[in-house]
Chain A
Amino acid sequence: QVQLQESGPGLVKPSETLSLTCSVSGGSLSSYSWSWIRQPPGKGLEWLGYIYYTGTTKYNPSLKSRVAMSLDTSRNQFSLNLSSVTAADTAVYYCGGPYQTRFDYLGQGTLVTVSS
């Protein structure tokens, strides 16, 4: 059974970069797409983007050039970097997979608060 687990700092200062990693167990990154989704407190879901196992990426244009995703197949992990964060980036961040168009697997989520 595939399981995903997000990890990273729970507190990030404004203007700094939010960095999260998703560890995948019970399956391989290969041949699939891996995504990031977030949910501000009390609000709905927002798709941030995905990275295909080849390294091809697709991002939500609302994030403009602030977002970058990468993967490390040797560690079976993929990562999210979101730069120049503001309070509006405070959210629970979920990693998911294994398809571009749906998320059969989602991590438990990790709350990231942007505050000085």
Chain B
Amino acid sequence: QSALTQPPSASGSPGQSVTISCTGTSSDVGRHKYVSWYQQHPGKAPKLMIYEVTHRPSGVPDRFSGSKSGNTASLTVSGLQAEDEADYYCSSSSDSGIIMFGGGTKLSVL
């Protein structure tokens, strides 16, 4: 059982927007700003897409954006492209000092 809850799947058509949620508690997502999102293509290492809730590392398209409300963080992918099809994982720091991951969401581009 994952500490952070993500929907197992999400989908959208090219050009559309899709939002993936990541629900934790007041001891992790709700209290901490260190929420990150990772993209993982099959057979590849995860790639950091969003850090500290809303920040994009250099080189990540601005189609990817992050937000947080209460105990739930969200990743929005706008203008979906075929190459966005991948697994997405959220992570958060916590009061205990450990890093928690979500169970992952498989994003399909229809």
Contact = CB atoms under 8 A, between A and B. Distances in A.
Given A101-B34, A101-B36, A102-B36, A46 B101 contact: yes
Interface stretch (B12-20, B64-72, B76-84, B91-99): B91-99
Contacts of A101: 34, 36, 51, 93, 99
Interface residues of B, number: 24
Interface residues of A, number: 19
B89 A106 contact: no
Interface of A: 35, 37, 44-47, 58, 60-61, 94, 100-104, 106-109
Nearest first, the 9 A-B pairs at minimum CB distance are A101-B34, A47-B99, A45-B101, A106-B45, A44-B104, A102-B36, A102-B51, A101-B93, A44-B103
Interface of B: 2, 34, 36, 38, 44-48, 51-52, 57, 89, 91, 93, 96-104
